[in-house]
Chains A and B, each alone.
Chain A
């Protein structure tokens, strides 16, 4: 490759941000981090790379080809950080002990994912998130949801949060083969409910139960509409654990309705979680003009145990660069020139103006 060509190209998945755009990026991060700190969350930094084999079981098959991998000097396979949450769980697993709980942490860092030449608008470069470790059940779910809602409100964009549960379909997975579970996930994601029902019945799920699951997963609506919808379903077709999980979800929705405005919340049981390790409530955030969910989160009560510390957890993360262009431009300070004939005079005037809160250059 010629020098000129090399200078013009950047590797797929890499990004540089410059000048005013970079300033806006920093200011937005600061504003979001301030919000996390006000909620009592502490920052955490994760390594840029780690051993690939540690994370391999948690990476969905369709995400594997996005991960940059490299060999270290001892011949071990490493991966660059493509998802902060996983790296964070390993760090937490190593560092935590029981007296630390509950623990509230937040992060904001660069992630590296390969993007196809066609994926130009994916903007998966910077991930920010918050995780609540050691608070089980509805209280933990509520805290994470309320923090996500306050964050979304503070961003000043239109948003909808679609809330579901990965635990509703999970009891039926035990009878399915791994390939079929992945196929079923994909079918639900693209709302292909006839394939979903076929896979369930082929896996031994009774036809009537598969039909009810099809109805449940196809539902999208407000919490109130969900209440009415589930009241109309014959509950005798649910397996016990599905019934219990639905009851948990309705309980969470009722509690959420008491503590925050749920006008932008939609119940959507086709949300199965963006990650394979989710064990309960899951949610994704959408905004007009963005081609996919920019925020995702949920409960993951078994993941930390895999990394050496048994604690329940819930949290969310979002891809800041995906939405940054839509955020209001009030981050941009208007710099003024200091007046004066000499450097000393200009420096003195600038000092006075800066003390008044102005942005001044010499």
Chain B
């Protein structure tokens, strides 16, 4: 397929979970209907114009980076950690969250010139943030249940995504500081975009047609 003679569908990676449901609902409203049947991870929409791959959130940039999926819906947090170069075609109002530093309730984020110890899944973001602030940081990489770190004494602070704060509250933690807003983006592999820019631009316009979806 080239920009003038489309012959195969645009390939789009979707992250498993709530974001997938939100994206699928957006597509349904725009007349792009598909479903992943019988636990299959690949689906074609009814028009045959789009092929969807259901992938683990953190693997999504890898699929797009290799051009296996030309496009993908992905949170800024995951993109940052991957570090690849992607074209960000648009952001969306759904799926947004915040990257925050948190710790035990009643405390605060304090630094007195020494190294800050932080437990997090987001090691690149955390390192870059603290270095930008001019603070040395020791990072303890965790893969989940990050809230346990301050509770059990692994680290006084965590850097994590906070949406409602319910999990923090349940573990007697609180947000000390919001570090960044995190948005959901439609991304493209740059080479894929160069080949199919006409179809991709038309697709982007279609899903952004109503301002309510921006």
Contact = CB atoms under 8 A, between A and B. Distances in A.
B86 interface: yes
B85 A288 contact: no
A158 interface: yes
A95 B62 CA distance: 45
A57 to B, nearest CB: 23
Interface string A256-287: 00000000001010000000000000001011
Interface residues of B, number: 19
A190 B194 contact: no
Contacts of B2: 158, 160, 288
A189 B193 contact: no
Contacts of A186: 85
A121 interface: yes
Interface in B138-193: 189-193
B50 interface: no
B212 interface: no
A253 to B, nearest CB: 17
Interface string B56-71: 0000001001110000
Contacts of B86: 190
A186 B114 CA distance: 34
A284 B88 CA distance: 21
Interface string B21-61: 00000000000000000000000000000000000000000
Nearest to A160: B195
A232 interface: no
Most buried by A among B87, B189, B190: B190
Given A118-B62, A291-B65, A189 B195 contact: no
A291 B67 contact: yes
A235 to B, nearest CB: 26
Interface in A190-233: 190-192, 220
A160 B190 contact: no
B22 to A, nearest CB: 24
Given A190-B85, A190-B86, A286 B195 contact: yes
Nearest to B196: A288
A156 interface: no
B112 to A, nearest CB: 30
Contact of B190 (A118, A121, A158, A292): A292
A189 B87 CA distance: 8
A289 interface: yes
A160 B3 contact: yes
B191 A293 contact: yes
A190 B195 contact: no
A121 B84 CA distance: 14
A290 B67 CA distance: 7
Nearest to B5: A158
A160 B194 contact: yes
A120 B67 CA distance: 12
A268 B193 CA distance: 12
Contacts of A118: 62, 65
A162 interface: yes
B150 to A, nearest CB: 32
Contacts of A220: 194, 197
B202 interface: no
A162 B185 CA distance: 26
Nearest to B86: A190
A288 B190 contact: no
Nearest to B85: A190
A191 B87 contact: yes
Interface string A279-317: 000001011111111000000000000000000000000
B66 A121 contact: yes
Contacts of B193: 191
Contacts of A287: 195
Interface of A: 118, 120-121, 158, 160, 162, 186, 189-192, 220, 266, 268, 284, 286-293
Q: Which 7 A-B pairs have the closest CB atoms?
A: A291-B67, A292-B191, A191-B87, A291-B66, A286-B194, A121-B66, A190-B87
Given A160-B195, A189-B85, A189-B190, 19 more contacts: A160-B194, A162-B194, A190-B85, A190-B86, A192-B87, A220-B197, A266-B3, A268-B194, A284-B194, A286-B194, A288-B2, A290-B67, A291-B66, A291-B189, A291-B192, A292-B67, A292-B190, A292-B191, A293-B191
21 contacts: A118-B65, A120-B66, A121-B67, A160-B3, A160-B195, A162-B194, A190-B86, A190-B190, A220-B194, A220-B197, A266-B194, A268-B194, A284-B194, A286-B194, A288-B1, A288-B195, A290-B191, A291-B65, A291-B66, A291-B67, A291-B189
